[in-house]
Amino acid sequence: MKKYVFILFLSVISISVSAQKNKENPNKQGEEHKEHVVDYSKNVATVSDVIETFYHEISGEKEDERDWKLFKFLFHPDAKLITAGKNDERQFQVKFMGSGDYIKSSEKWMISNGFIEKEIHRKSEVFGKMAHVFSTFEAFNSKTDEAPIIRGIYSIQLLNDGERWWILNLYWSHETWLHPIPGKYLD
C-alpha cells in the first residue's frame, strides 16, 4: 500500500512541476507542433481592403510567387469566379470556377509570363451586409509595359457576415472591339 501511495505522490509532484513550467513559459508548450498562423483580418475588414488585396495577390512579375492562401481567404467557401467570352473556336462560353480551380488554371501562366492587374475605376454600392463593385482593370505582363494586354470589368458581389467581408461571386469580361468599356467606367 505504501508503494502505491509513494507512486501517486511522485505522479502528483511530476504533474505539478510540469504545470508550473507551462505556466511560466506557455509559448514553449507544443512549440515544435505549432503552425505559423497569419492574421489576414485587415485584408477583409472593408470592401476596399478586399478589392485591393485581390488585385495585389493576382499581380506579380514573371517568376513571382503569389500568396494563394491569402487569395483563397478573400473568397467565401462557396464563391464562384466566373468568366465569359469566346473560346478558341470563337464560340461564346461561360466558365464557373472555385478559387482553387482558378489557381490551378491560371498560376502556371501567370508565373511564366508575368501578370500585373491594375484597377483603373471603381463603382461601389453597399446596402446593409451586401455590396456590389464594378471594377475596371487593365492587365500587363510587367510593370514596365506601356500598353495593357487586356482590359475589362469585374462585377464583384460581397457579403459581410458581421465579422468580415467575403467575395461571393466575381464575374468578369474582357473588353473587345465590339464591346469597348463605356466611358462611365473609365472616369
Domain membership of residue 152 (yes or no) is: yes
Residues of the domain holding 136? 42-185
- Predicted structure pTM score: 0.79
Phi/psi for 113 (5° steps) reads -110, -20
Domain membership of residue 26 (yes or no) is: no
Domain membership of residue 24 (yes or no) is: no
CA distances to 22, 42, 132, 158 from 161, in Å: 37, 15, 15, 10
Domains: count for the chain:
1
Instruction: Please report the beta strands in the chain, taking only residues with DSSP state E, as ranges in sequence order.
Output: 75-86, 92-97, 116-127, 130-140, 150-160, 165-174
Cα–Cα distance for residue pair 96/171, rounded to 1 Å: 9
Q: Closest Cα to residue 135, out of 44, 24, 54?
A: 54
Using the predicted structure, report yes or no on whether residue 35 has a pLDDT greater than 50: yes
CA 64 to chain centre: 16
Residue 50 belongs to a domain with what CATH number?
Answer: 3.10.450.50
Average pLDDT of every residue of the chain: 86
Phi/psi for 11 (5° steps) reads -65, -45
Domain membership of residue 31 (yes or no) is: no
Largest CA-CA distance found in the chain, in angstroms, rounded = 94
Domain membership of residue 146 (yes or no) is: yes
Domain membership of residue 4 (yes or no) is: no
Residue at 26: amino acid letter: P
Q: Closest Cα to residue 170, out of 80, 98, 95, 101?
A: 80
Q: Are 171 and 82 in contact (CB under 8 A)?
A: yes
Domain membership of residue 122 (yes or no) is: yes
Mean pLDDT of 135-154: 97
| Per-residue cell: 145 | 509595359
pLDDT tens-place string over residues 57-91: 999 999 999 999 999 999 999 999 999 888 888 89
Domain membership of residue 131 (yes or no) is: yes
Residue at 83: amino acid letter: T
Residue at 176: amino acid letter: T
Please tell me the predicted confidence (pLDDT) of residue 8. Answer: 37
